[in-house]
Amino acid sequence: MVGTDLQTAISFLQQGQLVAIPTETVYGLAANAFNPDAVAQIFAVKNRPSFNPLIIHTNSLTRLKDWGLQLPQKMLLLAEHFSPGPLTYVIPKSHLIPDIVTAGTPAVAVRIPNHPLTLELLSKLDFPLAAPSANPSGYVSPTTAQHVNQQLGNTLPYILDGGACEVGVESTIISFLNDTPTLLRYGGITLEQLEKVIGKIIDKPGEAGDEILTDNPVAPGQLARHYATKHVLIHGDPKKNFDQFNPQKTAIISFKTNYTQVPQNLQFVLSPQGNLTEAAQKLFAAMRMVDELDVDVILAEKFPDEGLGKAINDRLKRASVK
């Protein structure tokens, strides 16, 4: 069921059931992080490999400390600027966090999401919520309650509807396990924004993702193919690929350019004004819409390799790998 009633969401979560929750990035598939049986259902519903760890969500840094987590100095600095917000911190775990959440690794990923309804929900729970994106493993992440309902509606007791996600791509992930902080995933906060606050960050995206390349639990990496559309997606200059495909059966996802080569109804221009924030917001919904069309291929532009453009290119590149 889709609804906006916090009390219903709270009851299901307290009973160890799953609830889909809105965040500013994408919708999450949430369970009581302290309840291993509840968390196990997340892996089952998503068909997610058990060696891929989950992010835990709460509403304040104080509560993380109460749960025995030690917060590194640079994390605290970043949190002053970006939490609540689309930033996830990987830090050493405490004994309260079950192994199933961290896939047996000694580190846990934590985030304070910036969504009013979910912040209120989190403040009323006496446990954190483990929540990956609410999509079947490997598919595009959901940015509306309807996206979740279409794919997982039958398997979930409740989907909390908080409207369309404002950021539209997942959180940036930064690890504090080594001396120099390391970026694990491009997302809603840019590398430039982070470096302004804490200085040098090792730029190693590809170390985190919904699917994992290696089964080495100490070093979660990721399978390249993720965020995948059903149709084949080619990430690169559409002009270079037009002659290979029937234009009547070619869809395009572009930044601001309209291409005359293909029919207008097969084109998704994410931001005619050239605004990367708007483009990120619309990306996943566009990928879902093109998947509904009767086309042979999706040609997706390379976005400017700066700011949120890096997160957009990362998702399109992963969607394009065969």
**Is the distance from CB of 144 to CB of 2 less than 8 angstroms?**
no
**Contact with ligand TXA (CB under 6 A) among 84, 142, 220, 238:** 220
Please give the distance of CA 213 from its chain centroid, rounded to a whole number: 18
**Contact with ligand TXA (CB under 6 A) among 100, 129, 208, 269:** 208
Q: Tell me the HSE value of 166 on the side-chain side, using a 13 A CA sphere.
A: 10
Six token digits for residue 231: 């149709």
Judged by CB under 6 A, which stretch of 51-59, 60-68, 232-240, 314-322 contacts ligand TXA? 51-59
**52 touching ligand TXA, by CB under 6 A:** yes
Closer CB to ligand TXA, 90 or 152, in the complex: 90
The CA-atom distances, in angstroms, between 210 and each of 22, 203, 320 are 18, 19, 15
**Contact with ligand TXA (CB under 6 A) among 171, 250, 267, 281:** 171
The residues with which 19 forms a beta bridge, in sequence order, are 30, 158
Shortest Cβ 162–Mg ion spacing (Å): 18
- Single-letter amino acid code for the residue at 129: L
**Contact with ligand TXA (CB under 6 A) among 22, 98, 113, 181:** 113
Residue numbers 175-194 binding ligand TXA by CB under 6 A: 184
Residue 112 interacting partner from ligand TXA, Mg ion, none (CB closer than 5 to 8 Å by kind): none
Shortest Cβ 141–Mg ion spacing (Å): 5
3-state secondary structure (DSSP) of residue 6: helix
87-92 and 107-111 strand pairing: antiparallel
Residue 151 interacting partner from ligand TXA, Mg ion, none (CB closer than 5 to 8 Å by kind): none
Q: Tell me the HSE value of 273 on the side-chain side, using a 13 A CA sphere.
A: 4
Q: Count interface residues toward ligand TXA (CB under 6 A).
A: 30
Residue 53 interacting partner from Mg ion, ligand TXA, none (CB closer than 5 to 8 Å by kind): ligand TXA
| Strand blocks (E) in the chain | 2-3, 19-21, 28-32, 55-57, 87-92, 107-111, 129-130, 158-160, 172-175, 182-185, 202-203, 232-235, 250-254, 267-269, 297-300
Which residue bears the tokens 């979910």?
118
**Contact with ligand TXA (CB under 6 A) among 23, 59, 190, 229:** 23
Q: Binding pattern to ligand TXA, positions 1-20, x when CB under 6 A?
A: --------------------
**25 touching ligand TXA, by CB under 6 A:** yes
Q: DSSP assignment, residue 299? A: E
**35 touching ligand TXA, by CB under 6 A:** no
Shortest Cβ 266–ligand TXA spacing (Å): 29
Return d(Cα 21, Cα 230) in angstroms, integer. Answer: 25
Q: Which residues bind ligand TXA (CB under 6 A)?
A: 23, 25-26, 28, 52-55, 86, 88, 90, 102, 105, 107-109, 111, 113, 131-133, 170-171, 173, 184, 208-210, 220, 222
